[in-house]
Amino acid sequence: MKNKIRPLVAALALTPLLATAALPQYAPVTDIRLANPEPQNWLSYRGNYASWGYSSLKQINTQNVAKLKLAWAYSTGMTEGHQSPPIVNNGYMYITTPNNQVIAFEAATGKELWRYKKTIPEELQQLHPTNRGVALYGNKLYLATTDATLVALDAVTGKELWKTAVADWKKGYYMTLAPLAAKGKIMVGSSGGEYGIRGFVAAFDAETGKEAWRTHTVAGPGEPGGDTWPADTYKRGGGSVWITGSYDPDTNLAYWGVGNAGPWMPDTRAGDNLYANSTIALDVDTGKLKGYHQYHWNDGWDWDEVSAPLLIDVERNGKKIKSLVHAGRNGYLWLLERTNSKINFVDAWPYVTQNVFKSIDPKTGRPTYDPARTPGTGKTVNFCPSLWGGKDWPPEAYNPGTGLLYIPANNNLCSELTGEPAKYNAGELYIGVSIDNILTNVRMDDKARKHVGEVQAWDIKTGKKVWTHTYPEMNWGPLLTTGGNLVFGGGTNDRKFRAFDATNGKLLWEFPTNSGVTGVPSTFEIDGEQFVAVQSGWGVDAQRMQGAFDAVLPHKTVVPQGGVLMVFKLEQ
């Protein structure tokens, strides 16, 4: 009976549940709209190509945010980490959930329009059962799935239009990021560094799904940087890409963050290991590597640098800089210069406790390391920040009104790791540290027991921190900032979603949600009314970090799981 039911369920999942006549005609998403997004919409992962996480909407502001009330909510029926932003186009809203599901809504009311779920192989074990959102382009919607497939749907009906296998999931490749759409191409990267994949960014024709180009993030023999990998280690060298890239339409360059090299122990792959732990600049037409900056070489700390840099034009020391700004998992805040090709180092400084770097080369930005803090096979070391970094994947936000960069940080936290030999078998974990060690890695001194999580605000022009809001434990909250002089974010194990004064960090509003908020917030406007939307749903690495805290603290914290989309507006 089970086998007879499954095809019926799969077919129903592909069938639009409900059409609507209340919504306006769907507005195609064009390159021009993506480059200059209307404030009433939220068309992409971070709201604009520069990855600011900013909206100029200001109906909800510091004077009235205390009157913010729940307008509608929707239970997704899924557990684990709900991390995608609600994407909004002309009254249509789209979210993704764990288990490769897309749900479309009427944004003003919460009426479900359709639901799509990509069926994945039963034997596929999802190491990170999450999804970080869709891309909109033309009249289509694009989803990257954990069986390494790129899917195109009709944005109005949810009908599947095409799907393309991007990589072999049996070898450990999987995708969790929101695709990046530009110039007729849909770009994605692959996760799977823990399984010994060779990372890449690939582009596909938006209409047909045909592959246009593929650029590996781990350099091979004969390629620039290929000599930074010994023997054949590049074949399984990691370099995952699991967060959406930024894009500069003026230079046609997309900037992607690249994860750590694998396996974790650096003595197994002596060399710089390009382009792991880097930002790379790729030509969107060809995929050609035009420039890069490696934040740290020969990583041994699991410090993925996958968050794409924010594109911010700043004046610093009397010079105008088209910059790339990145709050590194390695605990340093990086200021780089983007050009039409190479990436130049400008400055870097620690924004959380960091005891690994002994110096930064003032010309190149290359760090030197404390050998006592550098992991190795058969060696136990303690280092800060922890393997989850000063900031993990949850994105920063930039507000052009205040000129401040906002960082969801974890400060004062350290790790202890013991390296062990790793043997590669396709599709199996290839890490070099035991799972038990990873799940109990955190080490907390008196400062960490006082507080870990922070929301920080930095003036990039001066390099000075302007304000900090602290939490007793971790912060996994992606940030949104607005023209109403507000910063929104969750990320704490007390389940709250908060709003701060963007200028001084004063807490102005908070709301207890059903679960922990690790979703990317967004905001939009319909018929002159502003809304703020976010998914609450704790899981994946936030829960794993919680388990590591529970292992060393005298108390345990239970964060309820289960995803709910929450949409807020001002009380009338």
Q: Which residues are catalytic?
A: 302
Tell me the one-letter amino acid at 237.
Answer: G
Q: Which contacts (CB < 8 Å, 24+ apart) does range 235-238 have?
A: 235/198, 236/196, 236/197, 236/198, 236/262, 236/424, 236/430, 237/198, 237/199, 237/261, 237/262, 237/269, 237/273, 237/276, 238/193, 238/194, 238/196, 238/197, 238/198, 238/199, 238/262, 238/263, 238/276
Distance CA(535)–CA(495), nearest Å, equals: 11
Distance CA(132)–CA(179), nearest Å, equals: 9
Geometric angle at alpha carbon 242, from 240 and 244, rounded to 5°: 130
Identify whether the C-beta of residue 128 lies closer than 8 Å to the C-beta of residue 174.
Answer: yes
Q: Which two tokens stand for residue 526?
A: 């319909």
Q: Which two tokens stand for residue 418?
A: 């013991």
Distance CA(204)–CA(152), nearest Å, equals: 11
Distance CA(298)–CA(262), nearest Å, equals: 10
What lies within 8 Å, CB to CB, of 287 at 6+ separation is 201, 202, 203, 212, 213, 214, 215
Among all chains, which residue has been given the structure tokens 């400060």? 411
Distance CA(307)–CA(46), nearest Å, equals: 11
Torsion angle, alpha carbons of 427, 429, 432, 437, to 10? 180
Backbone phi, psi, residue 372, to 5° = -70, -15
Distance CA(146)–CA(537), nearest Å, equals: 18
Backbone phi, psi, residue 16, to 5° = -55, 130
Number of alpha helices (DSSP H) and beta strands (DSSP E) in the chain: 5, 38
Tell me the one-letter amino acid at 421.
Answer: P
Distance CA(124)–CA(191), nearest Å, equals: 14
Q: What is the separation of C-alpha 145 from the centre of its chain, rounded to a whole number of angstroms?
A: 15
Among all chains, which residue has been given the structure tokens 């008196």? 446
Torsion angle, alpha carbons of 141, 144, 145, 150, to 10? 80
Distance CA(345)–CA(361), nearest Å, equals: 10
What lies within 8 Å, CB to CB, of 208 at 6+ separation is 162
